[in-house]
Amino acid sequence: MKIKSELSKIIENALNSADIKADEIVISDATKPEFGDYQFNGIMKLAKILKQNPRQIATNVVEQVDLTGMISKVEVAGPGFINIWLDNRWLSVQTTAIVNDVRVGVEQVEKPKRVVVDYSGPNMAKQMHVGHLRSSIIGDTLATLLEFLGENVIRQNHIGDWGTQFGMLIAYLEEQNTDGNTQELKDLEQFYKDAKVRFDESEEFANKAREYVVKIQKGDTHCLTLWQSFINASLGHCEEVYKKLNVNLTREDVRAESFYNNQLSKVIETLKEKDISTTSNGAECVFLEGDETPTIVQKGDGGFLYATTDLAALNFRDKELKADRICYVVDARQAQHFKQVFTISKQAGMVAEEVVLEHIAFGTMMDKGGKPFKTRDGGTVKLVDLLDEAVVRATEAIKDRNIHSKEELASMAKAIGIGAVKYADLSISRESNYIFNWDKMLSFEGNTSLYMQYAYARIQSILRKYKAEVTGDILVEDEVEHRLALMLLKFEDTLTKASIEATPHTITSYLYDLVSVFMKFYELNPILRDDIDEVTKISRLQLATLTGNVIEKGLSILGIDVVEKI
RNA sequence: GCGCUUGUGGCUCAAUUGGAUAGAGCAUCAGACUUCGGAUCUGAGGGUUAGAGGUUCGAAUCCUCUCAGGCGUACCA
């Protein structure tokens, strides 16, 4: 239910009836319960333009508001705010209508766009570490969200499979005589370290490594085969992580750095032709207005850089993938880089003017002390280890709670542990750095996944207890039911906002508010008690059912599973 | 040096993009149980939104300066 746009229409009609023109009518949530459910704050701006008393205008508008359906009451308040209350009967009808809807009332967008979401992008030379966590889960949430809303989403996993370090790695791979699928590659981190040791200790090996870099680039079959088997193995590791993390990236979504190799010289040609780049100190550079240093697109030795690859990728995404919007879910530290390549790509016509280019930036993951997240000895934390620890800790947190079978406990711990890690990350506004804290994320209290999962499990418990099938209408009667029903209907507006701004935390805040309201409702309004009449019982059961459905759908967009009991 | 970015109760975070008395959660204190799952709910205290100016009906949000942190900054990605 698009509540805000419905309200906008009603207010627009009222404005028209009062002979006032307004270009955009923005309805916001009321800041306090006394101020109703929604408010329209635009009168003050209009008053300035019209040079009239805002309260007078507001009063005129309020008189014209249609009170026959959605709205039960409107009031003028303060300097000219218009406060809006929604009608209980309307809420009853609307919630009843979606209680059995798989989309819980969320419509598909009318005109789907093609949206490229570039996320995860691990480097094949190394094991995935915590640095990849945020991109993977924020990007995946964004992709899932857009898909749910009906957009045509194209996931792109821009893996790093090209560069000098691969010469060393395949030389070592050859020396170890493995096909890439054996034990030696199981711990990529170790493999890299071992290779580096060899590189440093043996001149002969180092030369071979350098030679192999050149050979791969020239298309040498032997070296390419080695390289391919290495990439396969490394990608396999990533896929294990994706599976654990519940991230929907497959091989189909992989479009590696190397994919763009044959397009790089064309990029330079285009830039030269259009006089966008110039040669400076032997390198091919683009000097952008306002930048002190140039964006280098080709090194003095002829080699290309990541700006070049990104330009090729941008071109490909526009020309071949026909994207309308391209989202890069990448660390905030690369802001300048994206600003540069976005500007260049548009100047050079590699990306059409109307295509929306966005850097979906996020902050760094910190430890409790506010320092970048590292292992005790200062190394990078492997993502698999972190996820495994999450499951262990989740098991610890719930094992005394109830008698569960081993299997139940295991699947529950997975949903809870992984959910906790993801939710903690997704629930803060993505651009700020975030502090990683096990105890906090695995708490039943506060804005955590466990609290949502707990609420869901409680709802299922009530529904199980009722035993019969629940059919019938929701009848919104009191204040708390009013708030709950309204929250349930706000789901679509919340998702829309989150999709436009690419802010998953909008969804988590919403879920937390929803669950809080539900808990209050549940406390105040008994559902199954004997003295509750059947009509009320059914209405409340349906509210509980719908709440459960929304929690489930909301969490699933975040890539988090619910559990039937905890 | 230049550029980008951040600064909100003791701690972790919000604030619908310029709206009403800045909201939550932890933690602290005080309440509610013969519990539809109390790992819950109710309430209290705690703020000059880093500081100083400015813009206007109205500022955490926009502008200027200061202070403090983070990040980036010519051939890594």
Indicate if the pLDDT at residue A96 is higher than 80.
yes
**Residue A473 CA: distances (Å) to CA of A95, A135, A514, A540:** 9, 43, 20, 9
Rg of chain A over all Cα atoms, to the nearest angstrom: 28
Which residue is closest, via its CA, to the C1' of B15? A31
Specify whether the CB–CB gap between A116 and A321 falls below 8 A.
yes
* Structural tokens at position A133: 């966590």
Indicate if the pLDDT at residue A182 is higher than 60.
no
A314-CA/B72-C1' distance, Å: 23
Per-residue pLDDT tens over the stretch A10-44: 999 999 999 888 888 999 999 988 899 999 999 99
CA atoms within 13 A on the CB side of A27: 19
Domains of chain A: 3-86 (3.30.1360.70), 165-245 (no CATH)
Lowest mean pLDDT, pick from A109-113, A181-185, A243-247, A277-281: A181-185
Indicate if the pLDDT at residue A496 is higher than 80.
yes
Closest-lying nucleotide for A521 based on CA to C1': B41
A290-CA/B64-C1' distance, Å: 20
Which residue is closest, via its CA, to the C1' of B75? A299
Kindly report the bases of strand B lying within 7 A of a protein C-beta atom: 1-7, 12-17, 19-20, 24-27, 36-42, 57-58, 70-77
Which residue is closest, via its CA, to the C1' of B26? A446
A41-CA/B16-C1' distance, Å: 12
Residue with tokens 């994706």: A242
A77-CA/B68-C1' distance, Å: 41
Lowest mean pLDDT, pick from A175-189, A341-355, A362-376: A175-189
Mean pLDDT value across chain A: 93
A290-CA/B67-C1' distance, Å: 27
ipTM of the complex: 0.95
Closest-lying nucleotide for A436 based on CA to C1': B12
pLDDT band at A152 (very low <50, low <70, confident <90, very high): very high
CA atoms within 13 A on the CB side of A257: 19
Distance CA A174, CA A171 (A): 5
Which residue, A136, A161, A133, is CA-closest to A381? A133
Please give the DSSP secondary-structure letter assigned to residue A329: E
Q: Computed from CA positions of residues A430, A431, A437, A443, in that sequence, does the dihedral angle turn out positive or negative?
A: negative
Name, in order, each residue with C-beta under 8 angstroms of A111's C-beta and a sequence gap of 6 or more: none
Number of residues assigned to chain A: 566
A459-CA/B77-C1' distance, Å: 48
Name, in order, each residue with C-beta under 8 angstroms of A413's C-beta and a sequence gap of 6 or more: A391, A392, A394, A395, A398
Specify whether the CB–CB gap between A235 and A254 falls below 8 A.
yes
Indicate if the pLDDT at residue A561 is higher than 90.
yes
A337-CA/B71-C1' distance, Å: 13
Average pLDDT over residues A372-381: 84
Closest-lying nucleotide for A304 based on CA to C1': B75
Residue with tokens 């906090």: A440
Give the per-residue pLDDT at A524: 92
* Structural tokens at position A334: 């690369």
